[in-house]
Structure 1
Amino acid sequence: MSVKILVVDDDAEIRDVLHIYLRNEGYQVVEAEDGVKALELLRHEQFDLIILDIMMPNLDGISACLKIRENSGIPIIMLSAKGEDIDKITGLSTGGDDYMTKPFNPLELIARIKALLRRQNYASLVQPTNEGEICIDDLVINKDYHQVTVRGKEVSLTPIEFSILELLAAHRGQVFSIDKIYQKVWKEQTAFFSENTVMVHIRNIREKIEVNPRTPQYIKTVWGVGYRIDK
C-alpha cells in the first residue's frame, strides 16, 4: 500500500507543486485548503504524514495541529512564510515534527518526509520482546509499544519526542550534543539542520514528563555540550 500524504495549504499553486513532486515519489496525495477541511478529512481517512501550512483562513495550522495532537501522533511538517526562530519554536511546540520556511526547495522537503516516514515505519515494525522496557525511577519507556508512563500516568509523545527520549534513556550517563541527537533521531546529516528543532523537542518532552521542567529530574542540560539522562 502506498504512503498517503495530506497536503494542507490555502495556496493552490503550492498544493499543485507539492502534488507533482510527491506523486513522482510514488506517494498518494490528498489536498485541503484550510484546517477545517483537513480535520474533516482526518475523521474519515487514514494518512501517513501531514504537510501543514501555518497561515490559513478559517482554521490556521497552529490550531489545526493542536487539534490533531489531541488524539494522533501522525508525523507533521509545518510550512510557513515566516522564518523567525520564534515562529519555528511555536510550530514545533504545538506538536509539529519538523518546520520549513517558504519558499522552500521541494527536494529538501522530500528528504525530510522520507526521514520522518523512516522513523514512523521503524516504530510500527518493532516486535514485542521481554526486554522492551526502560525504567528510570517512576519513568517507564516501553520501546516495543512506544508508550511512556510517568508516575503511573501515560503521557503522549510524538514519534520524534519518543525517539529522543529513548536515545537518552538507552545511553544513561552519556552526553549527546544537539548535532548528534539530530543525526541519531532524524537519521540525517546536518545539511538542513536547525539546533532550535532539537531544543524545542527537548523542551516539549520536559513539559510532559517533568514535575518542574525548569529543574528537570530526567533530561539534564550539560551546558555547552548537550543533554543526558543521569545513571
Structure 2
Amino acid sequence: MTKILIVDDDKNILELVHLHLTEAGYQVFQARDGIEALDILRLKRCDLAVVDVMMPYMDGFVLTREIRQNYDIPIILLTSKNQIEDKEQGYLSGTDDYLVKPFEARELLFRIKALLRRYDKQQDESIISLGHTTVNKKSYEVHINDLTILLPLKEFELLYFFISNPKQTFTRDQLIQHIWGIDYEGDERTVDVHVKRLRERFSKLTDDFQIKTVRGVGYLLEVKK
C-alpha cells in the first residue's frame, strides 16, 4: 500500500486530507510539525510527503530541504499564499509541486497520483533486473539474490550499460565514449581491464549473464535464456 505523510499544524486540514486519502486507498501518517515529520520518516517508509509551509519549530521550506537531502520521495507544498516569491522559494527548497490553500481534495489527489507515476517511471528506468540480478543506478548497488555488491564507479557504469543494452555488440571505442567520455585520454586497454574485472567478480556469482568477446570488434552481454 502506498504510504503518504501529511504535515500540517492545522488539525482540520490533517483530518480532511487523511479522510480523502484513506478513501482513495492510501495509508496516511500525520505530523503536526517538521520535527515530528522527520521522526516518522526515520521509522516509516513513505512514498510521498504533503507539507504545509507555515508551521511552528520548522517551516515547510526547511522541512522540504531536510527531506530532499535524505529521502528520494516526491513532495507537495501547501500554502495559504499565492505569491511568486513563495513559489520560487518552494521550488528552490526542492519541492516537486505546489498547492495553494484553500484547495479541493480532488485536486490534491490528482497531483499525488501524477507525482507517484512520475517517480515510479524514474525508478523503473534506474533499476534493471536480469534473472536474479538487479542493478540499481540510484544506490549504485548490484543485488544477486540476497547478496549486495558495491563496485568501483566505472565498473558499475560499464555493467549498467551492458545490462541496459543486452545482445548488442559495442566496440571498445564506443564503450570508451559512453563510459569515460569523448575527452578520455587513455587507451582501449582500459575497457579490457574493466571487462576482465567484471568477469572475475560475477562468473562465480551468477549465470544470468556473460560478457562475451566479439573477436575483432568488441564486447556484448549475453543473457541466459
Q: TM-score, normalized by length of structure 1?
A: 0.55
Residue identity opposite 1:8 in structure 2: V
Query: How far apart, in 2, do the equivalents of 1:66 and 1:123 lie?
Result: 20
Q: Which is higher, the Rg of structure 1 or of structure 2?
A: 2
**Aligned partners of 1:123 and 1:146 also within 8 Å:** no
1:41 aligns with 2:33: no
Residue identity opposite 1:44 in structure 2: L
Q: Which residue of 2 aligns with 1:64?
A: 63
Query: How far apart, in 1, do the equivalents of 2:16 and 2:128 lie?
Result: 41
Q: CA deviation at 1:80?
A: 0.5
Query: How far apart, in 2, do the equivalents of 1:5 and 1:56 lie?
Result: 19
Q: CA deviation at 1:128?
A: 3.1
Q: TM-score, normalized by length of structure 2?
A: 0.56
Q: Which residue of 1 aligns with 2:137?
A: 145
Residue identity opposite 1:128 in structure 2: I
Gaps of 5+ in 1: 130-143, 148-152, 154-231
1:31 partner SS: strand
Query: How far apart, in 2, do the equivalents of 1:119 and 1:69 lie?
Result: 16
Q: Which residue of 1 aligns with 2:73?
A: 74
Q: Which residue of 2 aligns with 1:111?
A: 110
Describe the superposition over 1:66-120 as per-residue Cα deviations: whole angstroms up to 9, x where unpaired: 1112222210000001111111111111010000000011111100000000011
Q: Which residue of 1 aligns with 2:30?
A: 31
Q: CA deviation at 1:146?
A: 5.2
Across the aligned residues of Structure 1 and Structure 2, the Cα RMSD in angstroms comes to 2.3
2:28 partner SS: strand
1:58 partner SS: coil
Describe the superposition over 1:38-57 as per-residue Cα deviations: whole angstroms up to 9, x where unpaired: 01111111100000000001
Aligned residues: 136
Identity of aligned residues (%): 44
1:88 aligns with 2:80: no
2:72 partner SS: coil
Q: Which residue of 2 aligns with 1:100?
A: 99
Query: Which structure would you say has the larger RCO, counting Cα contacts within 8 Å and 6 or more residues apart?
Result: 1
